[in-house]
Each structure stands twice: as structure tokens, then as C-alpha cells.
Chains A and B, each alone.
Chain A
Amino acid sequence: MFRLLSGVYLGWGLGANDAANVFGTAVATRVVPYRRAVLLTSLFVLIGALVQGSRGMHTIGALADMDINTAFISALAAALTINALTFLSIPVSTSQALVGAILAVGLTGSGVQSGILIKVLVSWIASPLAAALVSYFLYRTLGSFIEVRVSSISLWSTVMKSGYYLAGIYGAYALGANNVANTTAVFMDAGMVSPLQGALIGGIAIGIGALTYSRRVMRTVGRDITRMSEFAGLVAILGQDITVHFFSWVGVPVSTSQAIVGAVMGVGLVKSGRSINYKVVIKILLGWLCTPTAAFILAFFMLKLYRTIF
């Protein structure tokens, strides 16, 4: 069972990093206290993982045939890639790192399910675009509704505060439902755990990551988003939540970081068509390119080493 630790480690890193995307703004602006934010994140990540996490697990699990050892190696390679690229300040996505590592297992073994791979690749490209579209329309519709209906600053504050709580809780749920596959899907494919056990272990690992190590990332991410107005920040988070939740239905784990960047751009488009920050777009493309490639190379060499020794 110690082989599961690489998946747990991956889940822990995911929780530490991605909790910031759901509650970062609320914590940075002191709307939600940090402790309450991480407790809500941990709880709803677990609920999301248990209720809706199985679809993504089946997709990732079906990408390539795994045994216990290749599952361990792919999860470990993905986790190490994330650590290394984070250290080099290159934006990373756990989903992309894991898929890169699984590709190495598939291409050096019994092959890769190309249909599923295409579905995953299309989802990666579509998620930031979908988030931009969702937040653009949310901003337009919610914006005019609030301007007409909210008649005092007390009510406005109440609406915003409640909105940040609800968006955070929904985001945590969507994160659990979508991203739990990254932590234990390969082990489920290898027959080590059942889908329910996988969701439980993965959900707990992500939750512990949020509880123990998310403070710094939360503050950094939160600060970046709070440069926008409070309403725009809320819409961006909701846009990300809806997109990530949608891809849980599709059954493909996507990057919450890339979804939030897309959502922020969507909000920016409402104000000005020129608000697309091409530096950020290049950063996303760099992440798309570097993360799976690096994970693929690392997993490839780890597998070679493993097969040479054993």
C-alpha cells in the first residue's frame, strides 16, 4: 500500500495549490477567515470527490493500462514534475503532469487510448475558453441584475459576502469532483483501490493539502485577483467553478489555475476588448507544453530505470 503514497503526495500538493483558486480572493480580502476557508475547502473537496469524482477517475484510468508499479511511477513522476516546475516558476497543472506521465507508461507499454487522449486534450484547450465565456455572460447578467436590485451598501455587502462563501464552497466541491482523479485514478486502474476508496483517499489528501500548506498560495493568488473589483473577482471565481464542475460531468480533470485565468479574461472582456493579456496566454501555453512534456520525460526515464533494475 506504500505505493499509494505517491498519489497521496500528488493530492496533497494539489490541495495546497488549488485551494487558492476557490477561496484565495475571499481570504486575501478578509471576507472569509483563513481557517474557515480551509475547513470548508477540505470538507467540500471530500464531498465533491465522493459524489462526483468517479467519472474523471474512469477517464484517467482508461487512458493506459496500469499495474501497481507503473501507477506508482506515473504518480511520483507527476508529483516530482510539479515540484520542479513550481520551483522554476513555470505554471503547472496536476492533470497535465499526470497525463504526461501516463502517456509515458502507455507508449512504453500496451499503448494509449487515443480517443480518450483527444477528449482530454480538447478539454484542456476548451476549459480556459469556456471559463472566459461563462464569466463574460455571468458578468453581463448578474451585473445588470445587481445594479437594479441592490439598493444599499448593506445589501450589496451581504450579497457579495454570501456570494464569496457560496462560490468558495461550490468551487471546493467542483475541485474535489474534477481533480480527485489526478490522485488515485491510476491506482484504481491498477486494481489497488475501488472508485469509492480512490475518491475517499484522494479527497482526504487534497483536503489535508488545503489544511496544511495553502496559506501562502492563497494570499498570492488572492492578491492578484483582488486587483479587480469585488464583483468582478466573484464572477471570475464563479466562472471557474462552473467550468470545472462542467468538466467533472464530461469526466476530464482540468486545471483550475488555467480556468481562473480564462475567467479573469472573460470579465476583462466586458470592460474592454483589449483586455486580453498575451503574456498570460503565453504562460498558459508554456504550461500546456512544459508540464506534460516534463512529466513524460521524467516518467519515461523512471520506467526505463525500473525495467532495467527489475
Chain B
Amino acid sequence: MAFIIHKKEKHIVEMIKNHAHTVVETVYLVCRALELLMAGKQAEYTEITKNVHIKEHEADIIQRDIDTEMFGGAFMPSIRENLFITVDTVDKVANRAEKLGDFLTLIQPDVPKEIRENIRKICEVTCRCADSMEDAVISLFEDIQNVHEDTVQIEQYEANVDKLAWRALDTVFKKLEIEKFSHRMMLREMIIHLSSISNKMEDAADRIDIIGLRLKT
């Protein structure tokens, strides 16, 4: 009987891993789009933001399939409920990436060269944070002992992103000579959109931690 139950859940586990990977891809894509925007390659970044949309939609479809199969009775009820919330929280990361992609496509902000390096660093740390989030999801199904280590790392990356974002905002509002206030506000919005991606990853890390703790007897 145990074997049958395990087999039933195996497919859902694969879908959850696939979902996390698709979400991470949206983060990588939007960071790549931002890089191209700063490099002035408009045609390419527009194409990539379209791909962000496609990946986000893909993640939504996988999430829907996970929900349908999971409520067919896989896993223990408490785990089922927590997994459902966790997948939903992970999915919100993709939504944030999509939002940033939309912002870049619609507003096409001019990023001053003084903050470009800072923005690149934020993107780099955000991508590492996304990798850790994927690792944490995988650890849930492969080695629960690693979950806490992964989530702690996510929190550290998120704290780093916050620091870098604050530094970028400080530069925008205090150190740069920008003519229009609306331009400052646009840059502020872009930085906030970017840092909100790792904030959502931190939320996902909290949910993943809860599942890990539930397994403690």
C-alpha cells in the first residue's frame, strides 16, 4: 500500500519541482531583460519580457495541475494544505518578475550609469536567491535536513538585496542630478519592483520552513 501511495505522489513532486524551476526561469529572464535594457538593446529585451510572460503562464498552468492532483488525496492533509500554500507563494515570485517585465516594457526607464552596477548586483543576488529557493523546494522531497540551511540562505540573500536596493535609492534621491522628479520616481518604482522579487522568495522560504517543522515529531 505504501508503494502505491508513494507512486501517486511522485508525479506531484515532479510537478512541484518543475513549477519551482519555471518560476526561477522567469527571474533569470527578467534580470536578463534588465541587463539588456541598461545596455540599450531594446528589441532584445522586449523579446525577453515576452518570454517572461510565457514562463509565468506556464508556471500558472503547472500550479493548477498540482492543485487538481493534490486535492485528489495525495500527501497527508496538513502537508497537502501547506504544500498548496507554498506552491502559491512560489508562484507569486513569477508574478513579481512578470510585473517588473511589464514595467520595463511599458516605461522603458533610462537607468543612469551611476546605479547600473548596483542594479546588476541586485539582479545577481536575486538570481542566487532564486536558485536557493529551488534548492529548498527540492530538499523538501529529497533531504528535509537541508531545508533550513536553504531557507536561511534565502533570507541572507534577501537582506543583501534590501541593502543594495536601499543604496540604489539613496543614490537616485540624494546623489544623482536628475532633472525630472518623475524620472526619480520611475527609477524608484523599478528598484522596488526588483527587490520585491526576493521579498516574495522570503515568504516562500517561510512556508517551506513551516513544512519542515511539521515533520518534526
Binding site for B on A (CB under 8 A): 29-31, 139, 142-144, 146-147, 150-162, 165, 229-232
**How many residues on B have C-beta within 8 angstroms of the other chain's C-beta atoms?**
26
Q: How distant is A43 from chain B, measured CB to nearest CB, in Å?
A: 15
Whether B143 pairs with A152 at a CB distance below 8 angstroms is yes
B145 — which chain A residues lie within 8 A by C-beta?
A: 151
Nearest to B140 among chain A residues (CB) is A153
| Residue in B1, B5, B10, B141 whose CB lies within 8 Å of A153 | B141
17 contacts between A and B (CB under 8 A): A30-B77, A151-B144, A152-B140, A152-B144, A153-B140, A153-B211, A154-B13, A154-B75, A157-B9, A157-B75, A157-B79, A161-B2, A165-B1, A229-B217, A230-B77, A230-B78, A232-B217
Whether B217 pairs with A231 at a CB distance below 8 angstroms is yes
Decide if B43 is an interface residue (CB 8 Å cutoff): no
Nearest to B214 among chain A residues (CB) is A229
Decide if B175 is an interface residue (CB 8 Å cutoff): no
Whether B143 pairs with A151 at a CB distance below 8 angstroms is yes
Nearest to B3 among chain A residues (CB) is A158
Taking A146-B217, A229-B214 as known contacts, 16 extra A-B pairs with beta carbons closer than 8 A to each other, sorted by chain A number, are A150-B144, A150-B215, A152-B143, A152-B144, A154-B10, A154-B141, A157-B9, A157-B75, A157-B79, A158-B2, A158-B5, A158-B9, A161-B5, A161-B76, A162-B1, A230-B78
Whether A160 pairs with B13 at a CB distance below 8 angstroms is no
Whether B6 pairs with A154 at a CB distance below 8 angstroms is yes
A231 — which chain B residues lie within 8 A by C-beta?
A: 217
Nearest to B13 among chain A residues (CB) is A154
Q: How far is the CA of A147 from the CA of B144 in the complex (A)?
A: 10
* A147 and B141 contact, Cβ closer than 8 Å, known pairs A154-B13, A157-B75, A230-B76: no
Decide if B216 is an interface residue (CB 8 Å cutoff): yes
Whether A151 pairs with B142 at a CB distance below 8 angstroms is yes
Whether B77 pairs with A29 at a CB distance below 8 angstroms is yes
Decide if B73 is an interface residue (CB 8 Å cutoff): yes
A144 — which chain B residues lie within 8 A by C-beta?
A: 217
Nearest to B9 among chain A residues (CB) is A154
B216 — which chain A residues lie within 8 A by C-beta?
A: 147
A162 — which chain B residues lie within 8 A by C-beta?
A: 1-2, 5
A153 — which chain B residues lie within 8 A by C-beta?
A: 75, 79, 83, 140-141, 144, 211, 215
